[in-house]
Structure 1
């Protein structure tokens, strides 16, 4: 599945949450989506947990 389809699905999920559940549900779905994204990147090996807590100047690039 390409990134455009994934983005479309995420946008639709946020839209439904905002419409049916209000702004609080919209924020909850967005936050859980971000957490899921980070966990997925970590499990694939694309993300090092230390990168999230290091200052910008110390990051490898």
Structure 2
């Protein structure tokens, strides 16, 4: 399991543990999963922020 998968799994588990039931809980899980995914991709070195900014370096 690489850091991206671990980060996503961690975000999902924290979201489920922190909130149960309803649409609000769904949003909490969604946000924490996305945050976990971003942290994991950063740790793997696969997060390219220049692509988000729309600028090329080269």
CA RMSD of aligned residues (A): 2.6
- Aligned residues, how many? 43
Q: Which has the higher contact order (CA 8 A, sep 6+)?
A: 2
State the alpha-carbon separation in 1 of the partners of residues 42 and 48 from structure 2. 7
Query: 1:12-57 deviations in whole A, cap 9, x for unaligned?
Result: x6xxx6xx510000000000000000000000011144544x13xx
In the superposition, the TM-score normalised over structure 1's length comes to: 0.51
Please, which runs of 5 or more residues in structure 2 have no aligned partner?
Answer: none
Quote the residue 1:23 is aligned against.
Answer: 23
Matched, 1:39 2:45: no
Instruction: Note if contact 1:42-1:49 (Cα within 8 Å) is conserved in structure 2.
Output: no
Equivalent-residue separation in structure 1 for 2:37 and 2:45 (angstroms) = 12
**What is the CA–CA distance in structure 1 between the aligned matches of 2:41 and 2:50, rounded to whole Å?**
13
Q: Which runs of 4+ in 1 moved over 6 A?
A: none
TM-score by length of 2: 0.53
Flag the structure with higher helix content. Answer: 1
